[in-house]
Amino acid sequence: MTSELPENYATDKPDPSPESQKLAEEFVLYLGTFHWRTDYINFCELMGWGTGNYCEQKYQQFQELVSALNNFDPDAIAKMIEAGFS
């Protein structure tokens, strides 16, 4: 996988607002912190689900979510947040 931008990638997009930037940074930080501090049992208890196949699947998806979010910098996430509001 390359980290180079495609030739037709528009780099003149405006910077996200400070509010969106803060929201993106906090969202990633809080989910990452929760991910670091929790385990499968705690996750199931917090969510109100009994341990079992459903919670196991959701816990795996949560781990994938945190991993996927770490593939984006806060600026990119902030731009996505703003695009969702427009």
Q: Return the pLDDT at 10.
A: 58
Count the domains in the chain: 1
Residue 3, in any domain of the structure: no
Q: Return the pLDDT at 48.
A: 97
Residue 8, in any domain of the structure: no
Residue 70, in any domain of the structure: yes
Range of the structural domain that residue 64 is part of: 18-85
Residue 51, in any domain of the structure: yes
Residue 27, in any domain of the structure: yes
Contacts of 75 (CB under 8 A, 6+ apart): 15, 16, 21, 24
Q: Return the pLDDT at 15.
A: 86
SS (H, E, C) 4-40: CCCCCCCCCCCCCCHHHHHHHHHHHHHHHHHHHHCCH
Q: Return the pLDDT at 9.
A: 54
Residue 2, in any domain of the structure: no
Q: Return the pLDDT at 57.
A: 98
Mean pLDDT per block of 10 residues along the chain (86 residues) reads 57 80 93 96 96 97 96 92 84
Residue 13, in any domain of the structure: no
Residue 66, in any domain of the structure: yes
HSE-up of 31 (CA within 13 Å, CB side)? Answer: 16
